[in-house]
Amino acid sequence: MSALLEVTDLAVTFPTDGEPVTAVRGISYSIAPGEVVAMVGESGSGKSVSAMAVVGLLPEYARVHGSVRLHDTELLGLGDDAMSRFRGKTVGMVFQDPMSALTPVYTVGDQIAEAIEIHQPHVGKSAARRRAVELLELVGIAQPERRARAFPHELSGGERQRVVIAIAIANDPDLLICDEPTTALDVTVQAQILEVLKTARDVTGAGVLIITHDLGVVAEFADRALVMYAGRVVESAGVQGLYRDRQMPYTVGLLGSVPRLDAAQGTRLVPIPGAPPSLVGLEPGCPFAPRCPLVIDECRADEPELLPVGVDHRAACIRTDRVNGRSAADIYGVNTEAPRTESGDSSVVVRVRDLVKTYRLTKGVVLRRTVGEVRAVDGVSFELRQGRTLGIVGESGSGKSTTLHEILELVAPQSGSIEVLGTDVATLSASRRRSLRRDIQVVFQDPVAALDPRLPVFDLIAEPLLANGFDKDRTNARVAELLDIVGLRRADAARYPAEFSGGQKQRIGIARALALQPKILALDEPVSALDVSIQAGIINLLLDLQERFGLSYLFVSHDLSVVKHLAHQVVVMYAGAIVEQGDSRQVFGSPQHDYTRQLLGAVPRADLGKRV
């Protein structure tokens, strides 16, 4: 079948005050009609830049070289007017954040109709609006005629993404470009959006280029995959071949980093050490060499070409013979086996009974009156034991984060009771509450927002120590010890947060949380903002810290695969209430509630290959 899209030697360079940054370094690929090609890799690998170069959406100062041919028409060099005729008609785009992709002051029906009217001026307004309703129905929006009159803020995140897909396919495009289309969505909504994208491909017959860091999405949706690193493709193959017979150590590491639902609690993952290189003044040789467990001197001499290693399979590596037949754990030298732990009962450190949290619904500006209430948490009860992890899972709005915040406040709840380390929080005096806060610390979802960018790492970690009476010598020693514990260098104490990667920032956040030697850590989506390769290192760190210090974790997450690796007990929440709870092996292995089964069934699985 002839190629729909043909990209040859595409390179993108951004000028800077210093050396220019070449974000994409000579990539080539093709997409056939109806084929789904996935681009995967860590943040900064060049995935999104290369996709935006195809449709001319890069800034004017970007220098783009090479060739991009769509239906044998060269796109590079076309003016804005000519490219605009391609975008939205021949090429449809689905972006990561649907809220920023939609105009907030127009109804979603009007926005879909506008996309039709611009590219099909012969279609009248009424016909365009009828077509908009049909498209909303096609992408699975309930009551499409009524929802067409809704504004974006009146829809859920999943519904907004469906609207963006409806706009993308409104003119029956030949090519769909999807940039992280499911990243910000709950697992069940993510599964629904993937089904919508499959429907869109089948209805339009379009080729699809999907950019993602989720290897489960690749396994479920793509036909071929391009693995990118440092601005170029380092491995390409059909998805079946890539997952079962990966040839590049970087791909091995990516697959080994993925949490799995079939793993036992406590199973370690295989993180990729280090961080991607700066593309300013890239060193000679293979850019993955500083992180590669199989590196030899020849790897540092010349950058390997992308060469055939099998049928429709290419890899940019001179050490593929050392990859064949070996697991990620073997190649990276990581012991992934879960340590044996005693199953005997330990003391209860957090006990929640019949917890209720409601929010009033009010109306009016001057004379506000209560018109109802929302039960964010409705009769929740559970226990966390010493040295164990309790995972709280559920979709957005299920009440899991509200439950965590109620515990962390250490004040009497609206209804029900909360005991922390044997003390009912309703009975705490101000001084006892302050003392108890030392024993329960928190690690937040966004390490960037959690760290003051104006303070060096030493001050960030030392702050809780100094506030609790540590003198200078004890503080210096404790900060150095904490940096060692979380896998950072002591010299890092003088650096600022902006100088660290996302995973390193989260390690700093964990070091700060550990400063006062707490007994309980509350972890609110601590790895959801991280690349899968970085996420694996944080998961391993949390497991190691628990084994070493006997910490108890309250772990809130929407990612069931991560919870499976960490949690001994699991609480499943829906609409503010617990619908299932129990031992993680039982909840994951034999779920009893339909909602739990729905959550587990929606998780994309990167399990085509069994040697990861």
State pLDDT tens for residues 15-52.
988 888 999 999 999 999 999 999 999 988 999 999 99
Q: Which parts of the chain have pLDDT scores under 50?
A: 609-612
- The predicted pLDDT at position 341 comes to 67
- The predicted pLDDT at position 607 comes to 66
For 178, list phi and psi in degrees, rounded to 5. -120, 115
Dihedral sign from CA coordinates of 96, 102, 108, 114: negative
Dihedral sign from CA coordinates of 595, 601, 604, 607: positive
What is the rounded distance in angstroms from the CA atom of residue 565 to the CA atom of residue 537? 13
What is the rounded distance in angstroms from the CA atom of residue 341 to the CA atom of residue 448? 34
Comparing C-alpha atoms, which of 498, 504, 523, 525 is closest to residue 513? 523
- The predicted pLDDT at position 611 comes to 34
Containing 215, the helix (H) or strand (E) segment is: helix 215-221
Four-CA torsion 289, 293, 294, 299, nearest 10 degrees: 10
- Contact (Cβ atoms closer than 8 angstroms) between residue 228 and residue 214: no
- The predicted pLDDT at position 213 comes to 86
Q: Where are the domains of the chain?
A: 5-222, 241-332
Describe the strand order of the beta sheet including 577-583 as a list of residue ranges. Answer: 440-443, 520-524, 552-557, 389-393, 569-574, 577-583
- How does strand 423-424 pair with strand 313-315? unpaired
Enter the tokens of residue 21. Answer: 């940054």
pLDDT tens per residue, range 526-541? 988 788 888 899 999 9
- Contact (Cβ atoms closer than 8 angstroms) between residue 40 and residue 218: yes
- The predicted pLDDT at position 252 comes to 96
Q: Which CATH superfamily is domain 5-222 in?
A: P-loop containing nucleotide triphosphate hydrolases (3.40.50.300)
Give, to the nearest 10 degrees, the angle between helix 457-467 and helix 472-485. Answer: 120
What is the rounded distance in angstroms from the CA atom of residue 333 to the CA atom of residue 330? 5
What is the rounded distance in angstroms from the CA atom of residue 131 to the CA atom of residue 124? 11
